[in-house]
């Protein structure tokens, strides 16, 4: 068991994995072929305690007949809650206003002070990735009277349609939404999904929220559109090269930054851990995994 702070080195991981029959990993650990080889031929499962599993080399696991699982379904609401919090915080400039009164004892009320965007004034939320978390985000948005557009390579499911979510292609969602929230997995195809070109397609003054994976966004390009005013704000829980944050972003008042906490609800983190353990138990008992990936 790794008891250190932050991400262990690959050397620590290989050392800790030696002889393991099961590895329970988090987003902090990169489980590559060398870690699996350090565990040795007895390794049966990598149970990733996260819904995203881009930190696990699936091909290497397949080659070694090692099962991989993740923790979908138990963190949808917690993650969408934080995404919605970031949406509210950026649209209504909550963190910026908090910082202002802490640093300006002479602050005053004024009719145009900290004017932000009303979420419920005919505002459209664009959801990129309409899985379970995207659906919870849509539920929150509709409760705030927002219109919801969604892009997903798969057709919308019945409950999303019933909620009033309208499917569109990525370009249409980006160009028609006042806020974009990302809820898709990180794959070679989605890396830098939000880049110079796609960020430029977003509505003037829109906001971007990312609680999915940092590398979905080209942070240098995001910094440029925030500085130019093309986007009015961004709420980021994840970063391209965690825990490093693109330096320019830290300096911008219209960016809200969180340390990858979207699933950090007390109940949720417990449920994630139990599901990861359950996957290990099923594997060792020779039963089908509750939540396998890539098999
Ligand atoms: C996930 O589940 O993928 C989160 O990012 C980690 O908590």
Strands (E), 88-203: 124-128, 147-151, 166-167, 179-182
For residues 131 and 249, membership in a common domain is answered with yes
Residue 169 lies in a domain: yes
Report the domain count for the chain: 2
Q: Is 50 a pocket residue for ligand 1 (Cβ < 6 Å)? A: yes
Write out pLDDT tens, residues 27-59. 999 999 999 999 999 999 999 999 999 999 999
Give the per-residue pLDDT at 1.
72
> How confident is the model over 156-161, as a mean pLDDT?
98
Is it the case that residue 295 has pLDDT exceeding 60? no
Whether 124 maps to a domain, the answer reads: yes
Residue 240: what are its φ and ψ, rounded to 5°? -55, -40
ipTM field: 0.95
Which pLDDT band, with edges at 50, 70 and 90, does 6 fall under?
Answer: confident
292 in a structural domain: no
Range of the domain at 67: 10-72+266-284
Please determine, for residue 88, whether its predicted confidence score (pLDDT) is greater than 70: yes
Residue 161 and residue 48 share a domain:
no
Domain-embedded: residue 294: no
Phi-psi region of 147 (alpha: psi -120 to 50; beta: other; left: phi over 0): beta
Using the predicted structure, report yes or no on whether residue 145 has a pLDDT greater than 80. Answer: yes
Cβ atoms of 233 and 254 within 8 Å: the answer is: yes
- If asked whether residues 61 and 102 sit together in one domain, one would say no
Binned at pLDDT 50, 70 and 90, residue 294 comes out as: confident
Q: Residue 182 pLDDT > 60, yes or no?
A: yes
Distance CA 166, CA 147 (A): 9
Q: Could you tell me the CATH number of the domain that includes residue 278?
A: 3.40.50.720
Same domain, residue pair 42 and 177: no
Catalytic residues: 213, 242, 260
Claim to verify: residue 172 and residue 47 sit in the same structural domain: no
Atom of ligand 1 nearest to the CA of 50: 2
Q: Using one digit for the tens of pLDDT, what is the confidence trace for 210-231?
A: 999 999 999 999 999 999 999 9
| Same domain? 198 vs 117 | yes
Show Cβ contacts of residue 235 under 8 Å, excluding neighbours closer than 6 positions.
83, 85, 86, 87, 89, 90, 207, 208, 209, 210, 255, 256, 258
Enter the pTM of the model: 0.96
Separation of CA 225 and ligand 1 centre (Å): 27
Ligand 1 within 6 A of 27 CB? Answer: yes
β-pairing verdict for 206-210 and 45-48? unpaired
């Amino acid at each position: 068991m790794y008891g250190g702070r932050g991400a262990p080195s690959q050397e620590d991981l290989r050392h800790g994995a030696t002889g393991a029959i099961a590895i329970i990993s988090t987003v902090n650990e990169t489980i590559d072929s060398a870690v699996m080889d350090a565990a040795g031929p007895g390794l049966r499962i990598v149970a990733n305690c996260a819904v995203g599993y881009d930190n696990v080399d699936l091909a290497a696991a397949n080659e070694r007949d090692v099962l991989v699982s993740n923790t979908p379904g138990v963190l949808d609401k917690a993650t969408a809650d934080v995404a919605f919090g970031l949406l509210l915080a950026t649209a209504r400039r909550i963190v910026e206003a908090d910082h202002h009164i802490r640093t300006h004892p002479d602050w005053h009320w004024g009719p145009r002070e900290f004017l932000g965007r009303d979420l419920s004034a005919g505002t459209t939320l664009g959801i990129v990735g309409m899985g379970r978390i995207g659906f919870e985000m849509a539920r929150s948005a509709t409760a705030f009277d927002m219109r919801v557009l969604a892009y997903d390579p798969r057709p919308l499911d019945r409950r999303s349609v019933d909620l009033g979510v309208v499917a569109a292609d990525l370009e249409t969602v980006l160009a028609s939404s006042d806020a974009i929230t990302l809820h898709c997995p990180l794959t070679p195809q989605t890396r830098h999904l939000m880049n110079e070109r796609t960020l430029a397609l977003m509505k003037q003054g829109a906001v971007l929220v990312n609680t999915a994976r940092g590398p979905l966004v080209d942070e240098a390009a995001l910094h440029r559109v925030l500085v130019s005013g093309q986007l009015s704000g961004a709420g980021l829980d994840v970063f391209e090269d965690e825990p490093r944050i693109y330096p320019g972003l830290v300096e911008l008042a219209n960016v809200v930054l969180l340390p990858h906490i979207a699933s950090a609800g007390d109940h949720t983190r417990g449920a994630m851990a139990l599901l990861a353990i359950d996957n290990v138990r099923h594997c060792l008992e020779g039963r089908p995994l509750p939540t396998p990936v890539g098999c």
